[in-house]
Amino acid sequence: MANFLLEIGLEEVPAHLVTPAINQVVERAENFMKDERLAYESIKPFSTPRRLAVLISGVAEKAEDFTEEVKGPAKKAALDAEGNYSKAAQGFVRGQGMTTDDITFKEFNGNEYVYVTKFEAGQPAAAVLAGFKSVVEAMTFSTTMKWGRHTFEYVRPIRWMVALLDDQVVPFDILGVATGRSSRGHRFLGHDVEIASADKYEEALTSVFVQADAEARKENIRAQVRQIAADNNWQVVVDDDLLEEVNNIVEYPTAFAGGFDEGYLEVPDEVLITSMKEHQRFFHVVDANGALLPHFISVRNGNAEHIDNVIAGNEKVLVARLEDAKFFYHEDQKHDIDFYNNKLEVVSFHAKLGSVAAHTRRAKALAAIIAGRLNFSADQQTKLARAGEIYKFDLMTGMVGEFDELQGIMGEKYANLFGEDAAVAQAIREHYMPISADGELPASDLGKVLALADKLDSLLSFFAGGMVPSGSNDPYALRRAASGVVNILADNKWELDIDGILSDLIDDINADAAKFGLPEDVMAELQNNVAAVVNFLTDRVVKALQDDGVRRDIINAVTKNDFADTTQMFESAQVLAAHVADDNFREGVEALTRVMRLTTKNATDAVVDVTLFENDAEKALFEAVSPVAEVAETDAKLVALLNLQPAVAAYFDETMVMVEDEAVKNNRLATLHAVANEATKVANFLELDVKSN
């Protein structure tokens, strides 16, 4: 067994691209080894800002031999009348790289066919691994660049490559950069280093101040940060995202502490933390009570030599940011909310969709509609109206202009400073939530409704303006907005008819076009896009259920139904998934499917008349389904529907539905429609596949 090392040496890769890149290298290496039939034991990744590397341990001496039996045309087509091989047979073997001498005949399903056996001897490991050039070249990145006169694109220019099978170089080159055994150490602490053999890679790089194992380097940083905090009696919460970013910008980490003047603590913590975390990649520290302290912990890419100069430099840069923050904080308080809110009239929401102010007025109207559906109290509606009126005002403040990460956060801070109700202020911050597909949801009812209104208006407006996401193109983050809508609804079990809510908003817009600020061409398309928005929300439900591992047929059953709200889709999916293993699930679903298939093709508005029953099975099914209509809870309703199976089976055994007597026929259809109507409140059972149950 041997070890194989591949190292791709690069100019500094942006921090956010390092981890995805090394994960891709590992995946492509796994696929390469599998495709080439070269056995191995394990793959260990290494990554720094300047290198992507994998160490493949336990590599076999050669690839496995390949044997494959390929079936060709039938014997009767392979031989002509004289018993010679036909053109069909000759063409088949030629396509397999073989001759007619290799043909054998074997029986398959009662007939004889042409067969050939292909054999390919496994190549030595060194010869196979030279093909790793394709792995390097096949890499894809979200950001690429060219260098020199080359058309080849990569995340950053390739400066060196190492490819070793044990102690032997595996030769290949890319754009004139040939593989060898020479790697590069730390940018200013190290020097070039020769890798004696693949298994000595990590040791060799350590000697030139490079900690190549990203996970070990991350734990090293974490330990140093926590030690500094412990030494100073500080508390530090090591943010995983920040740690990942810091880890991907250093090769030899040394943590250190710095500080700033306590006077800056008058600025809200969120501003100070943003300045430290987002702009300087510093870890903030707090005391035992969670109060922010005027100190920070950072990590340099190097050793502790001249660390005092490093600390002083970082403090100087941070203070400049904090001084800006302090200035804007005081300046912003010289004006009131109306001052900032009025500025939104001349700020474009989108060139095709009017101003931000008009968008907020539509969202305010939509929030009022939703609040009405949810039976909000008069006090809640009053506060919601105020929140809807001012929830974007902070966009015009100097602080948010400088630190755009703080939008919503500063809205809450300033709203409280300006004397707004605390619930209103909270809703201003929460309307942005969730900020990712699976992010934290708003906590307050006002925040939830305002978030729904803001996102739904964005969806409807952009759709009506012809800006519908397609493929991976979603410049206005509408998929994230839609995920936010369905997640908020599902989390609160709010069953809201989005179709009806959006239609009510359109009525308001049409009644006062000037107030809501949409161009005529967009207004004309609003109603035409309601269904598209609802379908778009349904697509997010599908995605969420897929991510949760829900069966495809169950997803279809709940999304290809007449549900008016997305919450019911989630609930029904969960209920169906919980009952698929029940003993009576398959038979029950088959019974309901039979009913729904018949009623789908035969509509009726008849009301069941018990005097028209001609057998006991008709009466039994009608009496069995009547209590089901009284069951509101989805789980209990599904159980009740599945329990109808004996009554449905007996009904079809004893009853001919499509008889000539129209009154009797429609009466029987009415009974079946009563069953189908209850079934559709759970799912479209026609979409379920229970053959494997």
What would the pLDDT profile of 160-184 be if each residue is shown by its tens digit?
A: 999 999 999 999 999 999 999 999 9
> Any idea which of 103-117, 225-239, 562-576 has the lowest mean pLDDT?
103-117
Domain end position, chosen among 329, 364, 381: 329
Q: Give the C-alpha separation, 283 to 295, whole Å.
A: 9
Q: Higher-confidence residue: 555 or 108?
A: 555
Q: Is residue 168 part of a domain?
A: yes
What average pLDDT does this structure show over 348-375? 96
Asked if residue 525 and residue 645 are part of one domain, the reply reads no
Residue 116: the pLDDT is 84
Q: Give the C-alpha separation, 561 to 568, whole Å.
A: 10
Domain end position, chosen among 329, 349, 375: 329
Q: Give the C-alpha separation, 548 to 215, whole Å.
A: 28
pTM: 0.82
Is the pLDDT at 479 greater than 80? The verdict is yes
Q: Give the C-alpha separation, 669 to 658, whole Å.
A: 8
Asked if residue 347 and residue 278 are part of one domain, the reply reads no
What does the block give as tokens for 296?
Answer: 């920070």
Q: Give the C-alpha separation, 584 to 587, whole Å.
A: 6
Q: Give the C-alpha separation, 500 to 497, whole Å.
A: 5
Instruction: Look at the chain and report how many structural domains it folds into.
Output: 5
Is the pLDDT at 100 greater than 90? The verdict is no
Q: Is residue 416 part of a domain?
A: yes
Nearest to 572 by CA among 512, 647, 651, 636: 636
Q: What is the extent of the structural domain holding 456?
A: 338-548
Residue 93: the pLDDT is 84
**Residue spans of alpha helices (H) in 566-643:** 566-579, 585-601, 616-625, 634-642
What average pLDDT does this structure show over 329-347? 96
Angle at the Cα of 682 (from 679 to 687), degrees rounded to 5? 80
> pLDDT, tens digit, for every residue of 380-405?
999 999 999 999 999 999 999 999 99
Nearest to 190 by CA among 9, 3, 44: 9
Q: Is residue 693 part of a domain?
A: no
Asked if residue 493 and residue 591 are part of one domain, the reply reads no
Nearest to 253 by CA among 321, 310, 316, 193: 310
- In Å, what is the CA distance from 121 to each residue of 4, 36, 65, 298, 669? 21, 12, 5, 56, 68
Asked if residue 411 and residue 300 are part of one domain, the reply reads no
Is the pLDDT at 437 greater than 80? The verdict is no
Q: Is residue 8 part of a domain?
A: yes
Asked if residue 256 and residue 371 are part of one domain, the reply reads no
Q: Is residue 499 part of a domain?
A: yes
Confidence band of 255 (pLDDT split at 50, 70, 90):
very high
> pLDDT, tens digit, for every residue of 405-435?
999 999 999 999 999 999 999 999 999 999 9
Is the pLDDT at 693 greater than 80? The verdict is no
What average pLDDT does this structure show over 292-299? 97
Is the pLDDT at 692 greater than 80? The verdict is no
| 442 in Cβ contact with 430 (< 8 Å) | yes
With pLDDT > 90 as the criterion, what percentage of the chain qualifies? 86
| 518 in Cβ contact with 354 (< 8 Å) | yes
Residue 647: the pLDDT is 94
Q: Give the C-alpha separation, 557 to 572, whole Å.
A: 9
Average pLDDT for the chain: 94
What does the block give as tokens for 141?
Answer: 């990145």
Domain end position, chosen among 329, 363, 380: 329
What average pLDDT does this structure show over 292-296? 97
Q: Is residue 91 part of a domain?
A: yes
Asked if residue 143 and residue 85 are part of one domain, the reply reads no
What does the block give as tokens for 277?
Answer: 């975390």
Three-state secondary structure call for residue 322: helix
Q: Is 410 exposed, middle or buried (0-12, 13-18, 19+ CB in 10 A)?
A: buried
Asked if residue 603 and residue 653 are part of one domain, the reply reads yes
Nearest to 358 by CA among 341, 375, 334, 370: 341
Asked if residue 116 and residue 150 are part of one domain, the reply reads no
Q: Is residue 692 part of a domain?
A: no
Q: Is residue 598 part of a domain?
A: yes
Asked if residue 582 and residue 451 are part of one domain, the reply reads no
How is residue 344 annotated by DSSP? Answer: G
DSSP string, 330-342: HHHTTS-HHHHHH
Asked if residue 84 and residue 47 are part of one domain, the reply reads no
Asked if residue 322 and residue 175 are part of one domain, the reply reads no
What are the phi and psi torsion angles at 112 (to 5°)? -90, 140
- CATH number of the CATH domain containing 505: 1.10.3210
Specify the DSSP element, H or E, that contains 101: none
With pLDDT > 70 as the criterion, what percentage of the chain qualifies? 100
Asked if residue 229 and residue 129 are part of one domain, the reply reads no
